[in-house]
Amino acid sequence: MNKRIREFSVVILEDESGGYIAIVPELPGCHTQGDSLDEVIRNIREAIELYLETLSEEEKKELLSRRVVGLQRVKALA
């Protein structure tokens, strides 16, 4: 598969320690953290690239065909 620039959905959460956590829903287990938004974005870009390097072409093709269709807030009793 040819390498090209691709876009990924990234969920960024505030960490209780004051930093940020970034998660890529399309890539199970791909996440990182950073002290600032700029740092967490740099870190997640690197994490995505490293994650993709570990995949076979078949795995990569399957994962890259996934698409996040939205982020929805849902109310529930807690």
- In the chain, the domains with their CATH numbers are 11-61 (3.30.160.250)
CA angle at residue 70 from 67 to 76, to 5 degrees? 130
DSSP assignment string, 21-43: EEE-TTSTT-EEEESSHHHHHHH
Q: What is the pTM of this model?
A: 0.86
Which residue's entry shows tokens 């600032």?
36
In contact, 44 and 57? CB cutoff 8 Å: no
- Which of the 8 DSSP states describes residue 14? E
CA 43 to chain centre: 10
pLDDT value, residue 2: 67
Question: Per residue in 6-50, pLDDT tens?
Answer: 999 999 999 998 999 999 999 999 999 999 999 999 999 999 999
